[in-house]
Amino acid sequence: DVKVTQSSRYLVKRTGEKVFLECVQDMDHENMFWYRQDPGLGLRLIYFSYDVKMKEKGDIPEGYSVSREKKERFSLILESASTNQTSMYLCASSLPHRGAGTYEQYFGPGTRLTVT
Which residues are paired to 20 by β-bridges?
77
Compute the distance between CA of residue 17 and CA of residue 26 in angstroms, rounded to an integer: 30
Torsion sign (Cα): 16, 83, 48, 111: positive
Residue from 17, 26, 79, 104 in contact with other proteins (CB under 8 A): 104
Q: Does 31 bind other proteins (CB under 8 A)?
A: yes
Q: Are 90 and 105 in contact (CB under 8 A)?
A: no
Closest CB to other proteins among residues 86, 105: 105
Residue from 17, 26, 56, 79 in contact with other proteins (CB under 8 A): 56
Residue from 1, 28, 53, 102 in contact with other proteins (CB under 8 A): 102
Q: Does 20 bind other proteins (CB under 8 A)?
A: no
